[in-house]
Structure 1
Amino acid sequence: MAHDDKIRDEGREPEVHIPGPSGPPPRALNGLADFWLISDTHFGHRNIIRYAGRPEDHERRMITAWRERVADDDVILHLGDLAMMKREPLTRLMEGLSGRILMLEGNHDRGSKTMYRELGIELITRSFLLEIGGWGVWFSHRPEPARIHGNRQVNVHGHIHEKVMGDPRCLNASVEQIDYGPVRVAGFLEAGLESLSPARR
């Protein structure tokens, strides 16, 4: 199996990732009460249907939902692994997607900051902590439970697609978990926090 296509190992639990240094939250998110969220779109990845159990029309569904929900002046945070395609088709794809796009660098996002900037994407290279509704929310590409400290912190991540972590404080925003379209972060967090015990709320 090619390295680029190796999305998961059958029968194994999601990996435990040891995080590196964190970074500051992007300025575009400062003071925002809500924004859009999505992860692991993998546009152009031929084998993702087989590896992650996606429906045949997953790309059409993601693009349609993005265009219908996200206004041009909205902010959308992509948690990484945007696409696996050459520059020209990627440019055409991004020209059709709305919103101000911020993206955490995923393990399949191998372009330069300059390339992503030319595509209209602000690339973020480190996980960051943002306060939302009285909660400390760590945003990362891979699950990073080691960053969580105290009862009112969670980790919103992607990377593991159709799998979920055993720790309920790790909330998976991969498209397989959010019905193949962007979601509002406030609603996503509200749904995820319902699974926490009262002691952690």
Structure 2
Amino acid sequence: MRKIYFISDTHFNHANIIKYCNRPFSSVEEMNKTLIKNWNNIVRDKDIVYFLGDFVLSKNKVKKAKELIELLNGEVIFIKGNHDKFGEKFRVIEYNGYKFMLIHNPDSSYTFNFDGWIIHGHHHANHLDEYPFINPKRKRV
């Protein structure tokens, strides 16, 4: 059975994200290798992964992104993050009668009149008071 996953903000090749988000890595190489290993331990080739922005930081982002995608399992559908050069601005999907907007930044003007759930990235785990992992009142994940 095909599974669907949502992820964002891997920030492959981004050295500062290790410090900024207190990631447990001593180098970008270690972080990249661990992210790829963990991804492939969960995601199978037939699965769908919605990537909700900020995939890679690199001088040649598109080339590096293509190289990384080749290493990752699953069919990856990209939503553009504030550090990305590719992907859709947002996507609306429906599942079991519920509408979901997939977007990087939940404060984007695209979300203002949307009457469904918003699945987003962008805030990492740094603003949990304002952006808890699940907010039923505001319909945000």
TM-score for the superposition, normalised by structure 1:
0.54
Q: Which amino acid aligns with 1:54?
A: R
Q: In the alignment, which residue of structure 2 is the partner of 1:146?
A: 112
Q: In the alignment, which residue of structure 2 is the partner of 1:156?
A: 119
CA contact (8 A) 2:80 2:90 kept: no
1:166 aligns with 2:139: no
Partners in 1 of 2:120 and 2:96 — Cα distance?
Answer: 18
Q: Which amino acid aligns with 2:22?
A: G
Which residues of structure 1 form unaligned runs of 5+?
A: 1-32, 112-122, 172-191
Q: In the alignment, which residue of structure 1 is the partner of 2:95?
A: 132
Partners in 2 of 1:102 and 1:90 — Cα distance?
Answer: 13
Aligned to 1:47, what secondary structure does the other structure show? helix
Which residues of structure 2 form unaligned runs of 5+?
A: none
Q: Which amino acid aligns with 1:95?
A: E
The Cα RMSD (Å) is 2.6
Partners in 2 of 1:136 and 1:165 — Cα distance?
Answer: 25
TM-score for the superposition, normalised by structure 2:
0.74
Give deviations 1:126-156, integer Å, cap 9, x for gaps.
223222233221111101452443xxx2211
1:165 Cα shift? 6.2
- Runs of 4+ in structure 1 deviating by more than 6 angstroms, as ranges, are none
Q: In the alignment, which residue of structure 2 is the partner of 1:196?
A: 136
Aligned to 1:102, what secondary structure does the other structure show? strand
1:36 aligns with 2:5: yes
1:34 Cα shift? 4.7
CA contact (8 A) 1:38 1:78 kept: yes
Residue of structure 2 aligned with 1:53, choices 6, 9, 22: 22
Partners in 1 of 2:66 and 2:102 — Cα distance?
Answer: 26
Aligned residues: 127
Q: Which amino acid aligns with 2:92?
A: L
Partners in 2 of 1:102 and 1:81 — Cα distance?
Answer: 13
Indicate how the Cα distance of structure 1 residues 84 and 130 shifts in structure 2: closer, same or farther if over 3 A, else same: same
1:52 Cα shift? 1.7
Partners in 1 of 2:31 and 2:95 — Cα distance?
Answer: 30
Q: For residues 22-33 of structure 1, what are the structure 2 equivalents within 5 Å?
A: none
Indicate how the Cα distance of structure 1 residues 165 and 129 shifts in structure 2: closer, same or farther if over 3 A, else same: farther
